[in-house]
Chains A and B, each alone.
Chain A
Amino acid sequence: MGSANIWITDLFHFYNKKQVSPTLENINLTIPQGQLTALIGRSGCGKSTLLQMIAGLLMPSEGSVRINAHTVTKPSAKWNMMFQKPSLYPWMTVRENAALGLVFSGTYKDKKDRVEELLDMVGLKDHKDKNVQQLSGGQQQRVALARSLATEPDVLLLDEPFSALDAFTRAALQTEVAQICHDYGITMVLVTHDIDEAVAMADKVVIMNHNPGRIVGSMDVNLPYPRDRNEAPFIELKEYLFSEFEKIDQAKESELEQMAS
């Protein structure tokens, strides 16, 4: 798998013309190849919107997203998004779901082994022929992961992909996905409200603010993989990030109050 730089330059977005403040304002972000970036921020600050723009599912009002030499104008299996819901196709087996991206590109015949390997890797060795409706939520999200990885993406975009899972499954998948992205050199962007998740997975955490959606800070996470969540540096970083987050939030609150008075 290759990997990719992502450049976001002077990006603005309005969902409709009557909006007073933009949904996203002046977003500039460069993500070097192979880096794992977490976007965190309050609900409604535009994280999903930004991610959909990187995926090419939505076009920004102004500015652009570039991945390597391409300006992103449409979705591609090379920059792949995993959603909060696995959204598997219930009329297909686990294998058929995982192979779908390859079927679309017409390369499944040559890459059958790849699908088998990926399913083994995400722990679905014994479930390949089952209908996806027979799987648990965590297993379904693993199928979605295999499906995303099958097309050998340069960029993997994750929109709160684990938020519907129980704590154990979530922690296991966080570790696995971060590991996989590192092993294959995939550039990953993760959207989350979970600070724990951000610190567990990311090399760099980017903090966003709402109204308008803006990038207001960032923090590097220089911890080795796999990360032990009980070690002091991990906990310290988490607490630091939390306090930063609160500071930004309070500043925003008082700003809003001032505007109101």
Chain B
Amino acid sequence: MSTVTTNAKFNLGQLATTYNKMPDWLQGFTNATLGMSILLFFWWVGGILIESNPDTEAFAAFAPGPALTALWELIGTPFLWDTILSSLERILYGLFWGIVIGVPVGVLVGYFVFVRQVANMPFQFLRMISPLAWMPIAVLAFETWDGAIIFLLVMATVWPIVFGTAHGVQRIDPNWFQVARNLGADGYQMLRRVIMPAIAQDVFAGIRLAVGVAWVVLVPAEYLGVTSGLGYAINDARDTLDYDTLAAIVVVIGAIGYMLDTIAAKLIKYYSWKME
């Protein structure tokens, strides 16, 4: 018995040293795999609990086994890709308008103290309203369901972008303006060479937050009227009691959300100029 324990300890120690010797990226990868395994484990346990409870037995297809099988089958179908594309398209429209409105407003808020003081309260107030709360108004105001959904997404994306941009503008060193003016910069050059590069990372930080919120809002928004998109697919799977597909779509939502966030994080890194 005692030999076994020492053996186990020895192995653990060895494991620790191997881990420490690994390059950073491999350590990161190992840790990420560990995290995903833990998630999978809880999902699996959850599946077993659902299955063993007579009340919830009917939802057993939520478990990782059936879900991942359904996912595998879905990946081969154009249905999944069309669904993803229509959701991504809405997100892009929402982000586009969020940026088109949010960045200029953010510049004004960041640059003019007066605008900031006037805008602060109403903006904080509006920001706190769940984008989904605009749903009835959106449905009234827009002729198409798509229009309404994109409006909801804009209500979600615009605030982080406004605040991110404003923060970036406020951080601009006033001397940068003076130096640029002194070197003969005109308004456009000031914008292009000084203001935009100076605030880019903060704008993208805002966009990253916006993408996160928009992605979360998108699915319930797609429960509305439309007949495409991931939210619709979830609703549809529920109505047809197709629980393994439903779970598979949830996995897809998570994966794409993660991807979008990674892209945004890469952009922030690319545009950040602060050196550690």
- A contacts, CB < 8 Å to B: 55, 57, 75-77, 80-81, 83, 85, 87, 89-91, 100-101, 103-105, 131, 133-134, 147, 151
- CB nearest to B276 among chain A residues: A133
Verify A76–B184 contact, CB threshold 8 A: yes
Verify B173–A104 contact, CB threshold 8 A: no
- Supposing A91-B197, A103-B193, A104-B189 touch, asked if A85 and B184 sit within 8 A by C-beta, the answer is no
Chain A residues with CB under 8 A of B185: 104
Chain B residues with CB under 8 A of A83: 175, 178-179
Provide the bound-state CA to CA distance between A100 and B192, in Å. 12
- CB nearest to B183 among chain A residues: A101
- Supposing A77-B183, A77-B184, A87-B173 touch, asked if A100 and B193 sit within 8 A by C-beta, the answer is yes
Provide the bound-state CA to CA distance between A77 and B189, in Å. 14
Q: What interface size band does chain B fall in?
A: 20 to 34
- CB nearest to B271 among chain A residues: A91
Whether B181 sits at the interface, judged by CB under 8 Å, is yes
- Supposing A91-B273, A104-B189, A131-B275 touch, asked if A55 and B182 sit within 8 A by C-beta, the answer is yes
Chain B residues with CB under 8 A of A55: 182
- The listed residue (A89, A101, A151) touching B176 by CB distance below 8 A is A89
- Supposing A91-B198, A134-B275 touch, asked if A105 and B184 sit within 8 A by C-beta, the answer is yes
A interface majority secondary structure: mixed
Chain A residues with CB under 8 A of B183: 77, 80, 100-101, 104, 147, 151
- The listed residue (A81, A85, A131, A133) touching B182 by CB distance below 8 A is A81
Provide the bound-state CA to CA distance between A151 and B179, in Å. 13
From residue B179, how far is it (CB to closest CB) to chain A in Å? 5
Provide the bound-state CA to CA distance between A151 and B185, in Å. 12
**Can you list 8 A-B pairs with a CB-CB distance of less than 8 A?**
A57-B182, A76-B184, A83-B178, A101-B184, A104-B183, A104-B193, A105-B184, A151-B184
Name B156-196 residues within 8 Å CB distance of A.
Answer: 173, 175-176, 178-186, 189, 193-194
Whether B21 sits at the interface, judged by CB under 8 Å, is no
Verify B184–A104 contact, CB threshold 8 A: yes
- CB nearest to A151 among chain B residues: B183
